[in-house]
Structure 1
Amino acid sequence: MKVTLFIVVLSLLPIHLSAQSPARARKHPAPKRYFGLHFDFHAGRNDSLIGRNLSERGLDSLLTAVKPDFIQIDCKGHPGVSSYPSKVANATVAPHVVKDPLAFYRAVTRRHGVGLYLHYSGVYDDAVLAKHPGWAAVKADGSMNMSKASVHGPYVDSLLIPQLNELADYGADGVWVDGECWATVPDYSPAALAKFRAETGGQTVPRSTKDVGYGAFNEFARRSFIRYIGKYVDAVHRHQPTFRIASNWAYSSMMPEPITTNVDYLSGDLTPSNSVNSAALEGRVMAAQGQLYKKPWDLMSWSFWYEFNPVQRQGDQKSAVHLMQEAAEIIALGGGFQAYYQQSRDAALPRREQPVMAALSRFVRERQPFCEGSTPIPQIAMLYANTTVRAFNQSLFGNGQTHRISGVLTALLDAQLPVEVLAEHHLRGRLSQYPVIVVSQQDSLDPAFRRELLDYARQGGHLLLIGAKTTRLFADELGVVPMQESSAGPKWVLNNGASIVLTGPFQPVRISSPDTKPIGNFMQTEAGGPVPGVIATETQFGKGKLTAIYADLSRDYDKHQSSRLRDFIASFTRPLLPNPVVEVNGSHLVHVVLNRQRDRLAVNLINTGGRHADPQVFTYDEVPPLTNLTVRLRLDKKPKRIVQQPENKVLPVRYEKGVATVTVPQLALHSVLVVE
């Protein structure tokens, strides 16, 4: 998501069918997409030289050097000003378009066999609401929201659909609709309220969180946005079936729910800072959705450091090495990758960063044969519950609840454990495929899904429950009695001989069952003696096990990435996975992604060194290689060979008692061990 500077589109890979019913599949084959570049400038009313400096020679040079599958360019940003000569009646066109950028880019990209996609701001449109205030969403106090269109008003039929049809008629391959789910707001317009009353039967309209039925009103608003997507996607497909459409961040961590519309692909743009860890989380959410619903997906990296909060700050352009790490986290999960560079105000594409773009392209292309079409091998599932996201989000859609899992996920990845991030609809009916399921601060669970989690444990599964409120939800099954309200503040813990400080909320409990065993000890201070208290417990539950940590851990690891906290979290997880398919030793700077790719095992190793998580560091251009990593794989038979790709290096294999062991002499940034 972007607020002032923006981004782009797509990827694709074949993915397996699910037993669940996907949204209706398109009948035409999707063209291949894997690596692309995005450019935008959010044209405004003062942009009067658009098209002046468009250079066929310059664009030829860029496309020849970088060889992207597609580029994406500006056509209408959040100001609502079209940067091409739109003929749609309600369009606001920049004051003087010297040369039509869309026609120019379509002609040149077609010659190169490069796809053309367009950045278009949807719900977020200042200009059309200045013309038609009655099209705006209405706030709870009755005032108009002059940036966000109502999804119940004329906007979708009178501007959005006609302009998307117009873009399709240019011969563009598709559109990346920005300013969508994250920009949608509760709408108190007369049309919205009439539909709310008709759907719910209620006459009283809740206008604040204190009002009865406020949650139901927000659910109505969410359903309305999804219907809005479905309406314009289907309408444009009727006009041009091969025109491909994505709504930015739809069905992602901001909206982790079943896909019920006919969007063609999934996409989003990462946080511009700490994007390596952001890619690891967001990519796993997208991968799960893509695999279940057979949708290609991609994520986009900002090519420069930027921070939105608490104030907007922009830093340096990122180096090729920095962007390669971000790309590795995404393509290792089977997704496509794109990078965002700012487009000039005259719609020309800057070439200053062309050497970085070309290096990034080579990096992705070298790994494409070993990553594209990958699907994960189930090991550890981390629950990201849609019910929790909806219960606690301040906005209709947003990723404000990722903090509940992000730190724990990063800690597990930093401990070289393979993890997927899955919502309820990904896990239902297939929990037993995962030896371990981690439930970190998922404080609002659907009762039926909670029962399914417990049935999974009874039948032999292992649940790791983390968090003050989450463990309270399972108190009876854990054999504990919650004491006074949970408390925050520094608490010193002794575990496996090491002291760790925890600062998040903590739930004091008293053990009430002889089947429940305490783990670890509290200390009075870091240097003090032990004091009473229960940090964690282990409970045999049917054929399985419930392990609980009575503290919120995620923010602590997000902030500090303490090696002791990493080991603390891993010490509870590893025993629950006694026979892992893969084990990697030799460095904690490796993320491991375990895949099935083209009927072969593919182990992705990503070097996550570098100061990507430091908010004071804009970029870096050197990541020291890791050496002599030991990789152990549990295999039914000795492999013919194990090859480190794309280096094409055959590694000596030692096979004993069902375990193949290899040593990786050097890991630069990202290698894939292909088992043959």
Structure 2
Amino acid sequence: MKATFLVSLFTLFSFQVLAQSGVSSPKPASKRYFGLHFDFHAIKDDSLIGRNLSEKSLDSLLTAVKPDFIQVDCKGHTGVSSYPSKAANATVAPHIVGDPLAFYRSVTRKHGVDLYLHYSGVYDDAALAKHPNWAVQKADGSINSSRTSVHGPYADSLLIPQLNELADYGANGVWVDGECWATVLDYSPTALAKFRAETGIQTVPRSDKDANYGAFKAFARRSFAQYIGHYVDAVHRHRPTFRIASNWAYSSMMPEPIKTNVDFLSGDLTPSNSVNSAALEGRIMAAQGQLYHKPWDLMSWSFWYEFNPVQRQGDQKSAVHLMQEAAEIISLGGGFQAYYQQRHNASIGLRELPVMAALSRFVRARQPFCEGSVPVPQIAVLYANSTVSAFNQSLFGNGQTQRISGVLTALLDAQLPVEVLSEQHLQGRMNQYPVIVVSQQDSLDTGFRKELLDYVRQGGHLLLIGAQTTRSFASELGIEPAGTVVKGPKWVLHNSSTVVLTGPFQPVRITGKDTKAIDLFLKSEAADPVAGVIATETSFGKGQLTAVYADLSSDYQKHQPARLRDFIASLARPLLPKPLVEVSGSHLVHVVLNRQHGRLALNLINTGGRHADPQVFTYDEVPPLTNLTIRLRTDVKPKRIVQQPENKVLPIHYANGIATVTVPKLGIHSVLMVE
């Protein structure tokens, strides 16, 4: 577990490839590095589509912003096509004037800008109004009026013909929306016949209380992946260069191995608290992109919006707000796009043009120092497929990210470099990571659990967090549960300060001779210590198991208390005795440690601002951070360390294998390039 600046390039690149290196498309990766997304989900009453399309206006936008691509509407969740589709089963908006897609293709081609199209797949109201037999059937036999069956005729009768039609327009690709997150259990006769034939299970479970319900959900998930593979391959046969992404496929909602020929990965962030959302979702996408050689990008909503409990829209986000979201994404090697609403006549307004242009300048200035980056292994947070599948109520969704999101944010707020990895990313290469964090991953595959423990025996460090997670490792931790999981506030004395924990807690007794307690319980915030074990550390082979017997993620996700951040960091830092990077001077910095084209690239992101406050829609000022101290562990003194894109050479003090520099000012995002 020796940490060294000169990480073996062979070891790194035998697993990781440049995040922006696509395999199935001849298009250079830069063509999807920065873009703008527009859609409006046409409805049957739209009668002005195509009117007021102005080449001059679009020229102004493309000239000022200079995107690699734009994505425009062609069919939304309503299923109404906003262009004059000739596909046999298409539902086309009435009175379309001219051809909006031909207009956008002509003008973007003139500017050398790629054109992608927003198309809603599984979610299609109009197709099911015409063809109810294409729909998913619910457990009670009724029809789902908005979700098409992945086992039915929809793909071959409408989806594939329309995507082929879009490819024939000369469009570069499609961003297929309403897919994995819209897919639901299907009780149609075709689906049930396939389930019985594939599994041998004859009695179909109708609820989560029935036997084999998990097997039915697993079948549905496999069926969706097969559906993607089918239509992607069919369209590629028609037009091999047409690039296809299924929105949120192979992301936090579907973190499984990629077994289809999608050309790139993409998703749109939560409109609120998007800085932290980008930090989480970007790390999951980056790991998938690197392992499976897929370029990836994430989309920010340009305005604040809340879906639940009541749909409500807030302000347009400022350029500064969006720059922070972009920084979290591009620092991880991904591409970035921003979503602006398209008018229902299919035109694009220019009111937000100054923000778009400022955002473009920000991303472009950093592209030379971020594109093609891969992370240097330090701390891995496990996001297990097995846990996601076991506990997701829906087939696909990111509800289980709450198990890790708070812990991830706490580690990032403690200036620690962290990746988020699933089983396929860690298997066979755990020993590259000095620390692996397992937070509330309560359904681990037996073989993977064994590999985790073997990793510790060989010298690794495992940080286990959560009432149920620690209970499942009781024997190895040298503890035994002392009763059932309890709820309610618990007060912990840590470094002479009080930390309040409100999540579920597992009382335990220490039974192992190699196990010792960390920190003390208090009866109340102002009271004296009482008996109890909150955390332990256990020698295990050549490595160490550290455990905290409470769920911590939700507490930090909701409130981000400084003392809880310090408590979580105090458990992780000792497991990383020779960190490659240390940053001090502010807790508002997120750190991303990369290699980019053989150079070390240290990203520093200023996360100031009230982005995590649900009462604040947006903000337009993030105060700069000053005099940050950066310590880099290197075998030799670097020739230069340059703060980019400021192009500022920083004086280096080198002693005992540590290169120390001071960053006098950090605005939103800088990259220290080590030469």
The residue aligned with 2:537 is: 538
Does the aligned pair in 1 maintain the 2:326–2:336 contact within 8 Å? yes
1:18 to 2:33 alignment: no
Following the alignment from structure 2 to structure 1, what is the Cα–Cα distance between the partners of residues 67 and 14? 28
Does the aligned pair in 2 maintain the 1:642–1:674 contact within 8 Å? yes
**Alignment-mate amino acid for residue 485 of structure 2:** S
The residue aligned with 2:198 is: 199
Q: Give CA deviations for 1:516-572 in whole Å, capped at 9, x if unaligned.
A: 000111111100111111000000000000000000000000111000000000000
Show the 5 A alignment for 1:137-176.
137-176=136-175
Query: By how many angstroms is 1:30 displaced?
Result: 4.5
Query: By how many angstroms is 1:288 displaced?
Result: 0.1
Please state whether the residue corresponding to 1:172 is helix, strand or coil: coil
The residue aligned with 2:7 is: none
The residue aligned with 1:481 is: 480
The residue aligned with 1:4 is: none
Following the alignment from structure 1 to structure 2, what is the Cα–Cα distance between the partners of residues 44 and 641? 58
Does the aligned pair in 1 maintain the 2:22–2:263 contact within 8 Å? no
Does the aligned pair in 2 maintain the 1:16–1:294 contact within 8 Å? no
The residue aligned with 1:3 is: none
How many residue pairs are counted as aligned between the two chains? 661
Does the aligned pair in 1 maintain the 2:16–2:290 contact within 8 Å? no
Query: By how many angstroms is 1:309 displaced?
Result: 1.3
Please state whether the residue corresponding to 2:15 is helix, strand or coil: coil
Please state whether the residue corresponding to 1:614 is helix, strand or coil: coil
Following the alignment from structure 1 to structure 2, what is the Cα–Cα distance between the partners of residues 616 and 385? 32
Following the alignment from structure 1 to structure 2, what is the Cα–Cα distance between the partners of residues 416 and 529? 32
The residue aligned with 1:354 is: 353
**Alignment-mate amino acid for residue 262 of structure 1:** N
Show the 5 A alignment for 1:162-561.
162-561=161-560
Please state whether the residue corresponding to 2:603 is helix, strand or coil: strand
Does the aligned pair in 2 maintain the 1:602–1:674 contact within 8 Å? yes
Please state whether the residue corresponding to 1:329 is helix, strand or coil: helix
Query: By how many angstroms is 1:96 displaced?
Result: 1.2
Query: By how many angstroms is 1:99 displaced?
Result: 2.1
Query: By how many angstroms is 1:17 displaced?
Result: 5.5
Please state whether the residue corresponding to 2:399 is helix, strand or coil: coil
Following the alignment from structure 1 to structure 2, what is the Cα–Cα distance between the partners of residues 156 and 31? 29
Following the alignment from structure 1 to structure 2, what is the Cα–Cα distance between the partners of residues 54 and 48? 14
The residue aligned with 2:611 is: 612
Does the aligned pair in 2 maintain the 1:17–1:292 contact within 8 Å? no
Following the alignment from structure 2 to structure 1, what is the Cα–Cα distance between the partners of residues 639 and 14? 29
Following the alignment from structure 2 to structure 1, what is the Cα–Cα distance between the partners of residues 191 and 450? 36
* 1:330–1:27 Cα change, 3 Å: closer
* 1:423–1:72 Cα change, 3 Å: same
Following the alignment from structure 2 to structure 1, what is the Cα–Cα distance between the partners of residues 642 and 329? 21
Q: Percent identity?
A: 79
Following the alignment from structure 2 to structure 1, what is the Cα–Cα distance between the partners of residues 25 and 521? 60
Q: Give CA deviations for 1:646-675 in whole Å, capped at 9, x if unaligned.
A: 000000000101100000000000000000
Query: By how many angstroms is 1:24 displaced?
Result: 11
Please state whether the residue corresponding to 1:487 is helix, strand or coil: coil
Query: By how many angstroms is 1:312 displaced?
Result: 1.1
Query: By how many angstroms is 1:18 displaced?
Result: 3.0
1:39 to 2:51 alignment: no
Q: Give CA deviations for 1:63-97 in whole Å, capped at 9, x if unaligned.
A: 00000000000000000000000000100000110
Please state whether the residue corresponding to 2:250 is helix, strand or coil: coil
Show the 5 A alignment for 1:38-77.
38-77=37-76
**Alignment-mate amino acid for residue 195 of structure 2:** F
Q: Give CA deviations for 1:168-198 in whole Å, capped at 9, x if unaligned.
A: 0000000000000000000000000010011
Please state whether the residue corresponding to 2:610 is helix, strand or coil: coil
Q: Which moved more, 1:543-552 or 1:514-523?
A: 514-523
Does the aligned pair in 2 maintain the 1:487–1:505 contact within 8 Å? yes
Query: By how many angstroms is 1:496 displaced?
Result: 1.4
Following the alignment from structure 1 to structure 2, what is the Cα–Cα distance between the partners of residues 35 and 168? 21
Does the aligned pair in 2 maintain the 1:18–1:293 contact within 8 Å? no
1:113 to 2:141 alignment: no
The residue aligned with 1:12 is: none
Following the alignment from structure 2 to structure 1, what is the Cα–Cα distance between the partners of residues 73 and 522? 58
Structure 1 unaligned blocks of 5 or more: 1-14
Does the aligned pair in 1 maintain the 2:488–2:502 contact within 8 Å? yes
Does the aligned pair in 2 maintain the 1:17–1:293 contact within 8 Å? no
The residue aligned with 2:643 is: 644
**TM-score normalised by length of structure 2:** 0.97
Does the aligned pair in 1 maintain the 2:22–2:293 contact within 8 Å? no
Does the aligned pair in 1 maintain the 2:383–2:441 contact within 8 Å? yes
Please state whether the residue corresponding to 1:402 is helix, strand or coil: helix
Query: By how many angstroms is 1:28 displaced?
Result: 3.6
Following the alignment from structure 2 to structure 1, what is the Cα–Cα distance between the partners of residues 150 and 101? 27
Does the aligned pair in 2 maintain the 1:16–1:292 contact within 8 Å? no
**Alignment-mate amino acid for residue 54 of structure 1:** L
Query: By how many angstroms is 1:26 displaced?
Result: 2.1
Query: By how many angstroms is 1:462 displaced?
Result: 0.1
Query: By how many angstroms is 1:31 displaced?
Result: 5.2
Following the alignment from structure 2 to structure 1, what is the Cα–Cα distance between the partners of residues 347 and 80? 17
Following the alignment from structure 1 to structure 2, what is the Cα–Cα distance between the partners of residues 576 and 410? 18
Structure 2 unaligned blocks of 5 or more: 1-11
* RMSD of aligned Cα (Å): 1.3
Following the alignment from structure 1 to structure 2, what is the Cα–Cα distance between the partners of residues 201 and 232? 27
Q: Give CA deviations for 1:20-41 in whole Å, capped at 9, x if unaligned.
A: 9x99942645453200000000
Following the alignment from structure 2 to structure 1, what is the Cα–Cα distance between the partners of residues 251 and 231? 19
**TM-score normalised by length of structure 1:** 0.97
The residue aligned with 1:576 is: 575
Does the aligned pair in 1 maintain the 2:435–2:461 contact within 8 Å? yes
Following the alignment from structure 2 to structure 1, what is the Cα–Cα distance between the partners of residues 388 and 141? 27
Please state whether the residue corresponding to 1:26 is helix, strand or coil: coil
Please state whether the residue corresponding to 1:494 is helix, strand or coil: strand
Does the aligned pair in 1 maintain the 2:29–2:295 contact within 8 Å? no
**Alignment-mate amino acid for residue 668 of structure 2:** L
Following the alignment from structure 1 to structure 2, what is the Cα–Cα distance between the partners of residues 18 and 590? 28
Following the alignment from structure 1 to structure 2, what is the Cα–Cα distance between the partners of residues 99 and 193? 44
Show the 5 A alignment for 1:658-673.
658-673=657-672
The residue aligned with 1:7 is: none
Following the alignment from structure 1 to structure 2, what is the Cα–Cα distance between the partners of residues 453 and 358? 47
Q: Give CA deviations for 1:446-470 in whole Å, capped at 9, x if unaligned.
A: 0000000000000000000000000
Following the alignment from structure 2 to structure 1, what is the Cα–Cα distance between the partners of residues 335 and 473? 39
Q: Give CA deviations for 1:596-641 in whole Å, capped at 9, x if unaligned.
A: 0011000000000000000000100000000000000001100110
The residue aligned with 1:598 is: 597
Following the alignment from structure 2 to structure 1, what is the Cα–Cα distance between the partners of residues 150 and 415? 44
Following the alignment from structure 1 to structure 2, what is the Cα–Cα distance between the partners of residues 200 and 620? 53
Following the alignment from structure 1 to structure 2, what is the Cα–Cα distance between the partners of residues 30 and 218? 38
The residue aligned with 1:632 is: 631
Following the alignment from structure 2 to structure 1, what is the Cα–Cα distance between the partners of residues 352 and 98? 24
Following the alignment from structure 2 to structure 1, what is the Cα–Cα distance between the partners of residues 300 and 51? 28
Q: Give CA deviations for 1:253-273 in whole Å, capped at 9, x if unaligned.
A: 000010000000000000000
Does the aligned pair in 2 maintain the 1:334–1:374 contact within 8 Å? yes
* 1:208–1:282 Cα change, 3 Å: same
Following the alignment from structure 2 to structure 1, what is the Cα–Cα distance between the partners of residues 565 and 662? 24
Q: Give CA deviations for 1:370-408 in whole Å, capped at 9, x if unaligned.
A: 000000000000000000000000000000000000000
Q: Give CA deviations for 1:427-485 in whole Å, capped at 9, x if unaligned.
A: 00000000000000000000000000000000000000000000001000000001211
Q: Give CA deviations for 1:400-431 in whole Å, capped at 9, x if unaligned.
A: 00000000000000000000000000000000
Does the aligned pair in 2 maintain the 1:24–1:262 contact within 8 Å? no
Please state whether the residue corresponding to 1:152 is helix, strand or coil: coil
Please state whether the residue corresponding to 1:145 is helix, strand or coil: strand
